[in-house]
Amino acid sequence: MGEVIVITSGKGGVGKTTTTANVGTGLAKLEKKVVLIDTDIGLRNLDVVMGLENRIVFNLVDVIEGTCRIKQALIKDKRYPNLYLLPAAQTKDKTSVTPEQMKKLCDELRDEFEYILMDCPAGIEQGFQNAIAGADRAIVVTTPEVSAVRDADRIIGLLEAHEMKQTHLLVNRLRTDMVKRGDMMSSDDVVEVLAIDLIGVVPDDENIVISTNQGEPLVGNDTMAGKAFMNICHRLVGDDVPYLDLNVKKGIFSKLFSKN
Amino acid sequence: MENPVVIKGNKHGITVFLDAKLDFGTLKELVAEKFRDSSKFLGEAPVILGFEGRPLLPEQEVEILDIINANCNLKVVMIDDHDAEREERYKKQLDEVLMEIDRAQGAFYKGNLRSGQEVFFESSVVVLGDVHPGASVISKGNVIILGSLKGQVAAGAYENENAFVFATDMSPVMIQIAGIRARCSDEQGKNGNKGMKLAFLEEGRICLEPLSKKIWNDIRL
């Protein structure tokens, strides 16, 4: 019986889609059968980040309206045998789907997949309600900025009101140098404010921009962000892994040797 | 009349319709029977009682009241005599009675109040958790927060000037007591007005003070 995990944040631009793409790919690398659902109808981009944009024929709204079967709309990622994507419609809007329909869709996918990841749109309106309707767990993504943390707080409150069984916190785009100077909240500060369990911290890493542009998630490779996302996947499946040491010591030697 | 005694519910209580032609002795027996039969249905709420259909002498009214009291568990708080102004006053008194019951019980809220959440209490309330920025607690009595207060609180809403607000970590965005508001100053907002503090109303202004014996002496419940 599969588990439905919604990735949400409230505020836009904090890394929900990047997280969905990387966590989904990471879980597939751990040989789990995974489907990613883009619920951001009208502003889809999970397919772009995954590099699967050209292969879209049918979408989420087609499945819900019964224009096609679920199997027809699922895009299989050729790089990973266990990874599928259900893209959002681009020509419709969030009101073309109801929370009840999303719940039904999730329940149908549970038999087939071990993990169903929902990429939630920004905001707390219909799109958010649709995305959380069928979810068992939630990952709340935030950056260490007061505005993002404030929105995360609101989202956690709404998830609690919705009786979400488990809510995890992911702190994204942390800059250790700024934290050390006292110019940025540390992950501990964010956890203290929001008072929920931390599932991982992802450092601000320019490799993310490169990987997003190339449509190739970086999870599991040698970059700091890649390692951080892989650790999050391990924690999601229940492994106990220590938190990464995000202090990159860029001495003169590491600079010289990193060019090989 | 088919039914010489009829009980009907209204906004604030019940109205009893009495047959005008029946002799008073028979009527009393019928009232007793009616209230005995519906005792379970009527429950034990505080109500305002009204009579209609038959003019009653004051002694008769008392007699019927006694019968009602003897035969059911309703708490008759007052008698309605169809005077609009008086009815308004009664309604207010009934509200006060209800609030008194709530006040005696007190209230607890467990958990963090997050941005966008708002809770309302008829009585004083103890919050076991934090009140985050963007959340608000409204109470007709006192508000005691065993945690940090970073959101909004309205105590003594909206006219209890003796109400106070206590938090183990006091850095609110806004406090309101009996309708008077105070906003934290911009500088305090940045540095945080940390620590255990008590907020109360004094000469139309809201004061924030650390706990001391003097403060407790000034507090009236």
Measured between beta carbons, the chain B residues lying within 8 angstroms of A151 are 115
Q: Give yes or no for residue A17 having a pLDDT over 90.
A: yes
pLDDT at B191 over 60: no
Same domain, B20 and B95: yes
Q: Are residues B112 and A195, on separate chains, in Cβ contact within 8 Å?
A: yes
Do B155 and B118 lie in a common domain?
A: yes
Examine the pLDDT at A258 and tell me if it is beyond 60.
Answer: no
B115:A193 CB<8 A:
no
Answer yes or no: do A153 and B134 touch at CB < 8 A.
yes
3-state secondary structure B96-158: HHHHHHHHHHCEEEECCECCCCEEEECCCEEEECCECCCCEEEECCCEEEEEEECCEEEECCC
Q: B183 is written with which tokens?
A: 């906003």
State the Cα–Cα distance between residues A64 and A101, nearest whole angstrom: 7
What pLDDT does residue B186 have?
Answer: 65
pLDDT of A252 reads 55
Interchain pair A153, B115: CB under 8 A: yes
- Model pLDDT for residues A155-171, shown as the tens digit of each residue: 999 999 999 999 999 99
The pLDDT assigned to B158 comes to 77
Smallest Cα distance from B114 to chain A, Å: 5
Same structural domain, B83 and B111: no
Which of B46, B73, B103 terminates a domain? The answer is B103
Strand (E) or helix (H) holding A8:
strand A3-8
Residues B84 and B113 in one domain: no
The per-residue pLDDT for A236 is 95
Tokens for A72? 């027809």
Residue A175 has pLDDT above 90, yes or no: yes
Contacts of B111 in chain A (CB under 8 A): 160
Which one has a higher pLDDT value, B25 or B80? B25
- Mean pLDDT over B12-16 rounds to 78
| Mean pLDDT on A192-204 | 94
pLDDT the model gives residue B81: 64
A to B CB pairs, distance under 8 Å: 27
Residue A227 pLDDT > 80 = yes
What long-range pairs does B181-188 form, CB within 8 A, spacing at least 24?
B181/B206, B182/B206
User: Given this model, what pLDDT does residue A259 score?
Assistant: 46
Same domain, B167 and B72: no
- CATH tag for A3-257 (out of 3.40.50.1100, 3.30.230.70, 3.40.50.300, 3.40.50.880): 3.40.50.300
Q: Of B69, B103, B137, which residue sits at a domain end?
A: B103
Write out pLDDT tens, residues A102-144: 999 999 999 999 999 999 999 999 999 999 999 999 999 999 9
Query: What mean pLDDT comes out for the span A172-198?
Result: 94
Chain B environment of A142 (Cβ under 8 Å):
none
Closest CA to A118 of A231, A228, A9: A9
Q: Tell me which range, A192-201, B14-23, B184-193, is most confidently predicted by mean pLDDT.
A: A192-201
What CATH number is attached to the domain comprising B111? 2.160.20.70
- Terminal C-alpha separation, chain A: 46
Please give, rounded to a whole number of angstroms, the shortest distance from the CA of A107 to a CA of chain B: 30
B57, B72, B103 — which closes off a domain?
B103
B41 & B71 share domain = yes
Residues 6+ apart with CB under 8 A from B51: B15, B16, B18, B61, B64, B79
Alpha-carbon torsion A107, A32, A160, A133, what sign? negative
On whether both B187 and B86 belong to a single domain, the answer is: no
Average pLDDT over residues B168-197: 79
Residues B15 and B94 in one domain: yes
Complex prediction ipTM: 0.73
Which residue of chain A is at minimal alpha-carbon distance from B150? A193
- Inter-residue contact A72 to A23 (CB < 8 Å): no
Structure tokens at A37: 């659902």
Same domain, B138 and B192: yes
Q: Is the pLDDT of residue B43 over 80?
A: no
Q: Which of A102, A62, A64, A109 is nearest to A84 (CA)?
A: A109
Q: Nearest residue on chain B to A157, judged by CA atoms?
A: B114
Question: What's the token pair of residue A258?
Answer: 């990193």
Find where tokens 């069928």 sit.
A134
| Residue B63: predicted pLDDT | 85
Residue B47 dihedral angles phi and psi, to the nearest 5° = -135, 165
Contacts of A154 in chain B (CB under 8 A): 114-116, 134
Contacts of B113 in chain A (CB under 8 A): 157
Smallest CA–CA distance from B117 into chain A, residue = A157
CB contact under 8 A, B117 and A153: no
* Cβ–Cβ under 8 Å, residues A177 and A46: no
User: Is the per-residue pLDDT at A251 higher than 60?
Assistant: no
Both B145 and B54 in one domain: the answer is no
Both B114 and B204 in one domain: the answer is yes
Cis peptide before B158 (omega within 30 of 0): yes
Strands B197-202 and B180-183: unpaired
Report the pLDDT value the prediction gives residue A131, as an integer from 0 to 100.
Answer: 96
Distance CA A143, CA A101 (A): 31
* B215 pLDDT higher than 60: yes
What tens digit of pLDDT does each residue of B84-129 get?
A: 666 677 777 777 776 666 566 678 888 999 999 999 888 889 999 9
Range of the domain at B70: 5-103
Indicate the average pLDDT of chain A. 92
Residue B28: the pLDDT is 86
Number of domains in chain B: 2
Chain B environment of A150 (Cβ under 8 Å): 115, 133-134
pLDDT class of A33 with cuts at 50, 70, 90: very high
Chain B closest-CA separation from residue A43 CA (Å): 26
